[in-house]
Structure 1
Amino acid sequence: MSNTAEASAPSPPADLKLAQLLESTRLERCPFPIPSSWFFVDFSGNLKVGEVRNIQLFDQEWVLFRGESGKVGMSDPYCPHLGAHLGHGGKVCGDHIRCPFHHWEYDAEGWCKQVPYGKNAPAITKLRPILRTLPVQERYGQIWAWFHPKMEPPSWELPHIPCMEDEGWVGDQRGTWQASTAIQEIVENSVDIAHLKFLHGAAGVPPIQVEFDRHMQRFNLGGGYIVGETWGAGSVGTVTFTQEGVSATLFSYTQPITRELTRMNMSFRHKAYPEGSRELYIARKLIDHMQHEAEGEQGAGFESVDMVIWNNKKYRHKPLLCDGDGPIFQFREWFRQFYVAEPDVMAKI
């Protein structure tokens, strides 16, 4: 009887099955635009007063400079006058960036402040900024810029990060890694609970609690073993590991260099435990575990296993999920708020 029932069960239409099987021929590695968010640019101490530097972020080149008062500016590279590159021969004058071609000057908000010849500057220079610049803040000893493809102002503020701003925290260890994928793919790991067992070698698939609240995501793995917070498009985040009452925290500040290249940056911090103490040993072991294999443990950190996946996968916008997968669909729906793109692009993500 069971064989007869199975034989008579309706089959999916042939064209539907074929489309499913042939989907891989149409998959893209990174169908995503650059998301809107606050993003790390550089460490504050790396940009000196009067310095002008060319940088690659958000799928284009920018000019970064620090004025004589210490104020940081970040602008499009090409002068609105005749298109000279401000980062090749441009100079800081006061708090302005000066074009090398005709010495037009612009402030950190993009207003033209000086045309050193002629009787009348273009009338538009009195009405609005004419050079695209990004809102910039310095926080956590770092330079941050707000990116929005349509130049809308920041919709949320950089958060207070205790491990980077409060007293009693120590640790100068930090790392940088590049992955050939989009930032969304990296952040999605936070809710992909099954991969912790099968890729990282965890003892089991941990339970997860996730909360999505406007521009924030909070998650709790394993009943408090791993607790994380993400702000914006995965550009600001903390992940805290706790073992035997001892905690260590990684502060994540990820950058989209291009649509298909992401730079992951992390600072690793823990409370100031006494030298030689059991607590200090555990804290340092937790930090080792975050990045790679820790002493006496079987699991593997992202450095040794996740990179292989990220660098070679393609994005399935309609994945086949089972009941053991984490809240991946909910995560993707939350992340869509950070994209500003045409409907045909949004349909892919």
Structure 2
Amino acid sequence: MSVIDLKLLQETKTLERCPFPIPAGWFFVDYSKNLAPGEVRNVFLLDQEWVLFRGEGEEGKAGLSDPFCPHLGAHLGHGGKVVGDNIRCTFHHWQFNPEGWCKDVPYAKIMPPVCKKQPILRTLPVIEKWGMIWCWYHPQAEAPQWELPSIPELESDDYIEPRTGHWEVNTAVQEVAENGVDFAHLKFLHGEPEIPPATTEFKGHEIFTDMKNGYIKGHQCGPGLAIFRFDHEGVVATMVSYSVPYTREQTKMNMSFTHFKYPEGTKEAMVAQHLVNHMVGEADGEESAGFESVDFIVWNNKKYRPNPLLCDGDGPILQYRKWFKQFYPGNEENPNL
């Protein structure tokens, strides 16, 4: 009788659901239209509370700051006010710009010398693109290491107004994105007729995938953005996914679905709409299941195995995990990730 490896059989007792820190990268905060000029709002994402604000006027700049004033610790999101593009603390009216520099201490004859040397309030770099507010997060507050790509479908009036969806899932953002290279689950979980042939290229902070010889082309840009284009006989529909970690164990999934403005009633328009419906598991005459009905069952209840048992049909799972470690600065050699 062969010897049983009890460690393997009992490993689940020591496994964690989500052993990951918050990754570095660009992350979606909100839609630009939802933040009014002069507004101050408390938001929770990236495993902490932040203060989101917008400068006064139509061109007011958006900012995302740590909640607590570096002076005496008052919460900027409770009583704080926007002055110009600055956030002003209610306690003593110190003002900070969206980059975290102290711009005014109204009663000080001499400001603390450090105020001239560096930002003194932790803020995240913020840009607005595609009608969305994006922030750059890095655990050591390092500057952005790449730019967000161009997405023509969200930048041109030639495409329909995107249909959007939002879902909260109880797992880490890495686990959600891993599905993009887990090609086998498309057959066994989603009901696709076969495991699609696929190729994957890992390149810096990006991943490029090609499934079914061009039927689905994916482009993941860091941990917080992925674009998938579905092509059927030259008609293309696009899904843009922009997930953000709320905590280490909860992710908010956000998606936009769009396609070219084909003339109403044409075959192209009907095919494009069918492709969008296919993405969300609502296509007529198809038995495949959308992620909301099946993936959530897995994500909400699974544990992460850092040393999974894999076989030849599983896709580039290990390569993906090695790629993702670059977004955990200081943890690249952590064997539990």
1:252 aligns with 2:270: no
Distance of 1:336 and 1:343 partners within structure 2: 5
Matching residue of 1:34: 22
- Residue in structure 1 matched with residue 259 of structure 2 by the alignment: 270
SS in structure 2 opposite 1:279?
helix
**Counterpart-to-counterpart distance in 1, 2:266 and 2:34:** 34
Question: Residues of 2 paired with 1:188 and 1:129: CA distance?
Answer: 36
**1:52 corresponds to:** 40
Q: Output the amino acid matched with 2:85.
A: D
Mean Cα displacement is larger for which, 160-169 or 173-182? 160-169
In the alignment, what sits opposite 2:140? Answer: 150
- Report deviation, 1:206: 1.0
1:66 to 54, 66, 73: 54
2:320 aligns to what? 331
Q: Would you say the 8 A contact 1:33–1:341 is kept in 2?
A: no
- Partner Cα separation in structure 1 for residue 162 and residue 46 of structure 2: 27
Retained in 2: the 8 A contact 1:228–1:239?
Answer: yes
Q: Counterparts in 2 of 1:300-339, with a 5 A limit?
A: 300-339=289-328
Q: Structure 1: which amino acid aligns with 2:89?
A: C
CA contact (8 A) 2:325 2:332 kept: no
Post-superposition offset of 1:341:
4.0
8 Å contact 1:115–1:121 — kept in the other structure?
yes
- In the alignment, what sits opposite 2:284? 295
Cα pair 2:37 2:60 within 8 Å, conserved:
yes
Q: Does the CA contact (< 8 Å) of 1:194 and 1:324 recur in 2?
A: yes
Which of 211, 219, 222 is equivalent to 2:212?
222
Matches of 2:132 and 2:157, distance apart in 1: 17
Tell me the distance in 1 between the aligned counterparts of 2:86 and 2:112: 19
Instruction: Tell me, yes or no, if the aligned pair for 2:326 and 2:332 is still in contact at 8 Å.
Output: no
| CA–CA separation in structure 1 for the residues paired with 2:294 and 2:330 | 32
* Distance in 2, Cα, partners of 1:302 & 1:118: 57
CA RMSD of aligned residues (A): 1.3
8 Å Cα contact 2:325/2:331 also seen in 1: no
1:148-297 maps to which residues of 2 (within 5 A)?
148-233=138-223, 235-297=224-286
1:18 aligns with 2:28: no
Structure number with higher helix proportion = 1
Letter in 2 for 1:195: H
User: Per-residue CA shift, 1:109-160, capped at 9, x if unaligned?
Assistant: 1111111114322221121111001111110111110000000000100100
Q: TM-score, normalised by structure 2?
A: 0.97
Residue aligning to 1:3: none
Match for residue 71 of structure 2 among 81, 84, 95: 81
2:91: which partner in 1?
101
- Counterpart contact for 2:279–2:290, Cα < 8 Å: yes
3-state SS of paired residue (2:28): strand
CA distance in 1, matches of 2:286, 2:309: 32
Deviation, structure 1 residue 326: 0.5
What stretches of structure 2 of length at least 5 have no aligned partner? none
After superposing the two structures, state which structure 1 stretch, 149-158 or 160-169, moved more.
Answer: 160-169
Choose from 79, 100, 114 the match for 2:104. Answer: 114
Task: Report if aligned partners of 2:219, 2:227 keep a CA contact under 8 Å in 1.
Answer: yes
The structure with the larger Rg is 1
Partners in 2 of 1:304 and 1:240 — Cα distance? 22
Task: Give SS of 1:138's match.
Answer: strand
Residue 172 of structure 1: how far off its partner (Å): 2.9
Q: Alignment length, in residue pairs?
A: 335
Q: TM-score, normalised by structure 1?
A: 0.93
SS at match of 1:145: strand
Query: Deviations for 1:148-196, whole angstroms, at most 9, x for unmatched residues?
Result: 0000000100100011113421133110011100011011101111100
Task: Give the distance between the partners of 1:77 and 1:40, measured in 2 at CA.
Answer: 19
Task: State the alpha-carbon separation in 1 of the partners of residues 40 and 302 from structure 2.
Answer: 37
> Any idea what SS the aligned residue of 1:274 has?
coil
User: Is 1:63–1:87's contact at 8 Å kept on the other side of the alignment?
Assistant: yes
Q: Cα deviations across residues 267-293 of structure 1 (Å, max 9, x unaligned)?
A: 101011111111111111111111123
1:200-229 CA distance string (max 9 Å, x none):
000011111000000110001111111110
Counterpart of 2:53, as a letter, is F
Q: What whole-Å deviation, never above 9, does each CA across 1:21-50 have from its counterpart, x for those lacking one?
A: 110001111000000001111111111110
Deviations 1:234-291 (A, max 9, x none): x111111122332110111111111111011011010111111111111111111111
Give the share of equivalent positions with the same residue, in percent: 57
